[in-house]
Amino acid sequence: MKKYLLLLPLLGLAACQSGKTGDAAAQKFIDSYTKQYVALYTADQGAQWKSQIEIIPGDTTNVVAAQKADEAMAAFTGSKENIENARKFLAQESELTPLQKKQLEVILYYAANNPETVAELVKERIKAETEQTQKLYGFQYTLDGKKVTTNELDDILKNETNLKKRLAAWEASKRVGPTLKDGLIQLRDLRNKTVQALNYPDFFSYQVSDYGMKTDEMMKLMDGLLHDLWPLYRELHTWMRYEMAKRYGVAQVPDMLPAQWLPNRWGQDWSPAVTVKGINLDSVLRPKGAPWIVQHAESLYVSLGFPELPASFWANSSLYPYPADSNVKKNNHASAWHMDLNKDVRSLMSVEPNAEWWETANHELGHIYYYLSYSNDSVPPLLRQGANRAYHEAIGSMMGMAAMQKPYLAGQGLIDPGVHTDSVQSLLKEALNSVVFIFFSAGTMSHFEKEMYADNLPANQWNATWWALTKKYQGIVPPAPRGEEWCDAATKTHINDDPAQYYDYALSYALLYQLHNHIARNILHEDPRATNYYGNKAIGDFLKGILKYGASKNWKTVLKESTGDELNAKAMLDYFAPLTGWLKQQNAGRTYTLPETL
């Protein structure tokens, strides 16, 4: 989510730096726009927040309030007057400071999602999005006739060895799909038509443009990451097929991984399949309780020199799950919220005391501290977002990864410092998370949404296309043929409520390894695979040097200045290099079923 507050004293500094005084009329427009935007944005976030934490079947109060707040925001950002003014001032680019130009471009970007020229279409899209969210998070999952949470289904997929029970849990997780299909068809069409009113070819292209890129450029970047990492993924896929067949007592090793064999509903994370001896975080964290998890995540950031979280964070966040039989539901996907583009920050999670939520809590606070860092007088409210969308995920994921490394865990008393752990197994577990995830994010998800929006994929081909892409990029197949009465893509929350942006996550993983590699080698002088960030103020200074700019500085420049390199998969490949040789030894004599090249 991108959210924007009124603090404007920066422009004099920016003008001095650029050698320009700026256009006074343009600045007056920007100031006026920002004041109204922030007021509407804050009201909108409040309504959206309530609609996400209080989903009550049969009660549309929160839904209607959220829809009205969205409509008010849309009417303002998409107004003809704002569009015309932004275009007028951008036509006089030579008179603008760099920050004025950036803010005017942001104003036009927001307008494209809500143009007044198609006001009824925008209103219809907002209504459809609100209804889709309610269907998605208000859905009651059941298993064997009993109500269950998604956490409970996930636990079965992580731990159960009985294939019949695994299949039942996997199938239960997909039953929400048909409920969402009609709404998603409508949303695809509405999203495309809305942005086409301001000359974007489709909604996917609109979202990609936030990077300063075209669709073909983004897909080329995705395919490049996939190509570079494919040899390692092919080894992981082969190893996983044989190991899972052994675990489940199946004599005939399948050519592709059955989806129900995997410890994740979408096959995006295989790491629970490996337990690193000497490290059993679930058993250590369970007695500490869920609140301790979030509090301890905060302590990591504070040790680096970041401030304690505002009291309002603890008072207003929704951090823990509702009971499975609660009549009130909430969004069960972890997220961070910047409520007013200033210091009102919140998180929506369902934390339980286990290793997954330990990592997730550290990740989510990465977003929170990013918000707080760029909420400063040097960044105009309209530029209070990540250097690009991937930066937000990169910082969060990097901190989540750092909190899982052995030296850090030992330093926090969660494992015995002298405990023997297999470094290769640790690396394997991590690759089964991050490398595997790239093939879901850059592969299946990004290509499906590109086909869905940019290529206008017919809805009667959605499920077939989803599984064709899953097989091509992940080497995963469903337990049995699944027809178009299903909509398995829609079971992934992002396709509904964070659409056409999943490449953000793929890029974030490449970024996080580049940033982590720099921290390990140039600040800690430690092996990137075994670090302890805790208490190192130099790491905090390095991160603050990235976070404080928000989107006021070009994302490529930020990366080059901070790490000395451009975006690539090299740091990731170097990180997992010791694992590649081990996997080849393990897979000697085994049959590879993925092609040598993608």
Each residue's pLDDT, cut to its tens digit, for the chain (598 residues) gives 333 233 323 323 333 334 466 789 999 999 999 999 999 999 999 999 999 999 988 888 998 999 999 999 999 999 999 999 999 999 999 999 999 999 999 999 999 999 999 999 999 999 999 899 989 988 999 999 999 999 899 999 999 999 999 999 999 999 999 999 999 999 999 999 999 999 999 999 999 999 989 999 999 999 999 999 999 999 999 999 999 999 999 999 999 999 999 999 999 999 999 988 888 899 999 999 999 999 999 999 999 999 999 999 999 999 999 998 899 999 888 999 999 999 999 999 999 999 999 999 999 999 999 999 999 999 999 999 999 999 999 999 999 999 999 999 999 999 988 888 888 998 999 999 999 999 999 999 999 999 999 999 999 999 999 999 999 999 999 999 999 999 999 999 999 999 999 999 999 999 999 999 999 999 999 999 999 999 999 999 999 999 999 999 999 999 999 999 988 899 999 999 999 999 999 999 999 999 999 9
Distance of CA 35 to the CA centre of its chain: 29
Cβ atoms of 383 and 103 within 8 Å: the answer is yes
Tally of residues, the chain: 598
Rg (CA), the chain: 24
CA dist 474 and 233 (Å) reads: 9
Angle, helices 119-137/176-196, rounded to nearest 10 degrees: 160
Cβ atoms of 341 and 5 within 8 Å: the answer is yes
Could you count the other beta carbons within 10 Å of the beta carbon of residue 8? 13
Please name which of 577, 582, 547 lies closest in space to residue 562, comparing C-alpha atoms: 547
Task: Calculate ∠ Cα 231-233-235, nearest 5°.
Answer: 75
Cβ atoms of 109 and 57 within 8 Å: the answer is no
